[in-house]
Amino acid sequence: MKPGAIIYDIDNTLYSYDDAHAKAWNALTEYASRTFSISPERFSEWHRRASRALEAHTGGPCAAIHDRLIRYQVMMELEGLPLAHAPEMCRIYWNALLNALKPYPGLVETFERLKSMGYSLGIGTNMTADYQFEKLSRLGVLRLLDFFVSSEEASAEKPDPRLFELCAGKAGLSPEACVFVGDSLTGDVLGALNAGMRAVWFNPRPEPAKTPPGAFRIHAHAELPNLLSTL
């Protein structure tokens, strides 16, 4: 049976998070150097310490561990510094990352083609909803989406099946009628397969890589419509 919904991950699937994060991190470390007179290496240690503390507070993976305002709040608390730095650091990071966003080649055209083919389009992402919506808007695909699921809303992080089940529920389809597209083998591909969905591994790297049994691999977004026609 032809699937009725295509569900996408966001980070490193719709754009290069690694590239955008590198620019945002540079802006953040420059702020830390100016404001706290510390080296990038020292700031990295502050960041690791705060991330460990936040994960301990929350009890493990959840949407809150991705919330940079909370992370920088915890950092300031641990370092005995004014909390007023936390929202400023959050602003600096996100402004730099959002300004660096570039959709992967063919992304918008592929979304438009899938819509014209009759597919419902959705998002399934680990993260808080606020900045993920802003990313989708800047990438030019928010207008084409039918539903959105974050780990914040699902109270579960990929590969937890609850997030995938909520995606299928919002699509109004059985998991078997949904295709999940993402870059993470564990979170996206295996998570989707274990939830009963079809899975497409987005991996633009040229080197050979073993695709898990039952999954498909694409190197570019433009490949997806033709692949779907064979399913």
What is the per-residue pLDDT for 3? 63
Asked if the model's pLDDT at residue 40 lies above 90, the reply is: yes
Asked if the model's pLDDT at residue 1 lies above 60, the reply is: no
Asked if the model's pLDDT at residue 136 lies above 70, the reply is: yes
pLDDT digits (tens, 9 = 90+) for 154-166: 999 999 999 999 9
**Per-residue confidence at 205, pLDDT binned at 50, 70, 90?**
confident
CA dist., res. 50 & res. 75, Å (int): 5
Distance linking the first and last C-alpha atoms of the chain? 8
| Mean local confidence (pLDDT), 204-231 | 89
| Mean local confidence (pLDDT), 179-187 | 97
Asked if the model's pLDDT at residue 2 lies above 80, the reply is: no
3-state SS assignment for residue 150:
strand
**Per-residue confidence at 215, pLDDT binned at 50, 70, 90?**
very high
**Per-residue confidence at 223, pLDDT binned at 50, 70, 90?**
very high
Angle at alpha carbon of residue 18, lines to 195 and 219, rounded to 5°: 60
- C-alpha closest to that of 121 among 93, 98, 149: 149
Q: Report yes or no: 126 and 63 within 8 Å, Cβ to Cβ.
A: yes
DSSP calls for 109-123: HHHHHHHHTT-EEEE
Q: Which residues contact 137 (CB under 8 A, 6 or more apart)?
A: none
Q: What's the chain's average pLDDT? A: 95
Angle at alpha carbon of residue 8, lines to 172 and 211, rounded to 5°: 115
Asked if the model's pLDDT at residue 210 lies above 90, the reply is: no
Burial class (CB in 10 A: 0-12, 13-18, 19+), 163: buried
Angle at alpha carbon of residue 94, lines to 221 and 133, rounded to 5°: 50
| Mean local confidence (pLDDT), 39-57 | 95
Q: What is the DSSP letter of 143?
A: G
Between 147 and 64, the higher pLDDT residue = 147
What is the per-residue pLDDT for 212? 87
CA dist., res. 22 & res. 114, Å (int): 31
